[in-house]
Amino acid sequence: MVTADLYIRVSTDEQAEKGYSQRDQDERLRKYCLHSNITVGQVIYEDHSAKSFKRPAWIKYLSEIKKKSNKSSLVLFTKWDRFSRNAGDAYQMISLLQKNGINPQAIEQPLDMAVPENKLMLAIYLASPEVENDRRALNVFHGMRKAKKEGRMMGTAPYGYINRSMEDGTKYVAVKEPEAANLIWAFNEIAKGCTPAEHVRVQMNKREGKGLARNTFITAMRNAVYCGKIYIGQYKQEEAYYIKGKHEPLITESLFRKVQDVLERNKKGERPGGKVLCNEHFPLRGLLTCPLCGNNLTGSGSKGHSKIYYYYHCTKKCSFRYKSETVNDLFEKELTKFEFSPALKDILKKLLINNYKSFTGGIDEKRKSVSRQIDLINERVSKARDLYLSDKLDEDDYREIKSSGKLEADKLEEELGYLVSETKAYDIQTRLDSALNAVSNISKRYKQGDMETKRMIASSIYPKKLEFDGTVFRTAEMNVIAKYIYLSNRGLINKKNRHQIVENFDVGCVSASGFEPETVCLEGRCSIQLSYAPIE
């Protein structure tokens, strides 16, 4: 008597559909075997998609028949789409089964494989469900793409948001607290450029609400969804672009751009980075580099007979290390060189105001230019409407002009909104006084500050990392204001030419977001050595 194995497969989305339940297939297959005088061997139950043969139960079944432990000569299923929905894979699997003495057969679509013409019918049986799957997937793709173009956030809402439904069943994405507040805090901390992203993540996870893993956190920091944008990927001849979403943004576009800039600079090693700050003995960890191999210096403690000794040391095998207490004391001493007198404060204030006016003046011109472009587009659309109403322009041409004009105008309006936010009126005098007062006693603030404050001060003065070799500090770049104070305190600036220098000194880039000490972004280049006698 012939023995047959029964293969019963459903995919997750098919279990509720009529005619696809495992019990229904089992009943029909057993009834077929009873009427055909076939002995039932083993029954293989599968709950997996038929897009490929990487199915747990099927893989186990193949390993058994290859060991010749299975004595069946048939494997039965209800229809060929239960066997496979991929024609190419199906032909290969049929060949493999036949080599092992087993013939596959669908009881509701029986085919005699010995007849060559039946291979055409087999191709139809296999290709039909594959085409159906591809068409369904394509319809879903186009539907989701259309929804994205309308500004809808698709799929599971990211961290800080939650999927909701209205009474009529309409789905939308709402802000979820306290996760949303955590993300806003994290974006603002990273934008300062003084603290490693990993440390910001750890601190954020200590706050109320659910935390994020490392990779998920970095992905979130680069996700434009949080500034109200939806990404439309490239498809055929249509290029990728962003559109305004219907969901509520958590942060502004300007803040999102600042965070991207900081992350890019961190990636290139242009800004201080390092491991999580977790020990008060190592406030400079991640800001120092090894003079022997160029890698970051880390910090750790070495247990002695009576106490623990702390060292900054290299992560490689170059064996460079130095006492953290000595290095920290030196850094505090060097900060006193950046303190300045009230007279120099007035000079710096004038320099910064002049630079601020120059910076915002350029934005004003750009804003006026964008406004003129918007007016020209509106004028062009208005003329086209007049021509259309007077029957001098076809409807299709008018709609095309109107559509393209609206698209251009929307992009320019978005740019104009950003420029307006950048030129928002600030009380520049008050902000400068506050910032310069804080800088004037920078050494005292550093000594009395916590780990966050110390790191913020150090990375603000030195935008790039310091190389420390046990005797001197070296850096490729110093904050230009700190450089100016340092040189002035050393008496390297000629008092007679001081006012001329103030008028012509190129300060570089000043952020229009404010002049608080932690957000000053004034960059210049300077080679400086800080020497001291090491304490043994």
Sign of CA dihedral 438, 441, 446, 448: negative
Collect the ranges in the chain with pLDDT lower than 50. Answer: 16, 18-19, 274-276, 425, 493-494, 496-536
Q: Other CB atoms closer than 10 Å to residue 69's CB: what's the count?
A: 8
Contact by Cβ (8 Å): 360, 385: no
pLDDT value at residue 360: 63
Q: State pLDDT tens for residues 287-298.
A: 788 888 878 788
Annotate 471-489 with DSSP letters as a single string. SEEEES-EEHHHHHHHHHH
pLDDT value at residue 473: 74
At 435, the amino acid letter reads A
At 494, the amino acid letter reads N
Separation of alpha carbons 407 and 413, rounded Å: 10
pTM above 0.85, yes or no: no
Give residue 396's region: left, alpha or beta (phi > 0; psi -120 to 50): alpha
Q: Other CB atoms closer than 10 Å to residue 243's CB: what's the count?
A: 16
pLDDT value at residue 348: 73
Contact by Cβ (8 Å): 86, 130: yes
Residues 6 or more apart whose CB falls under 8 angstroms from that of 506 comprise 524
Q: State pLDDT tens for residues 151-184.
A: 888 888 999 999 998 888 888 889 999 899 999 9
Separation of alpha carbons 435 and 431, rounded Å: 6
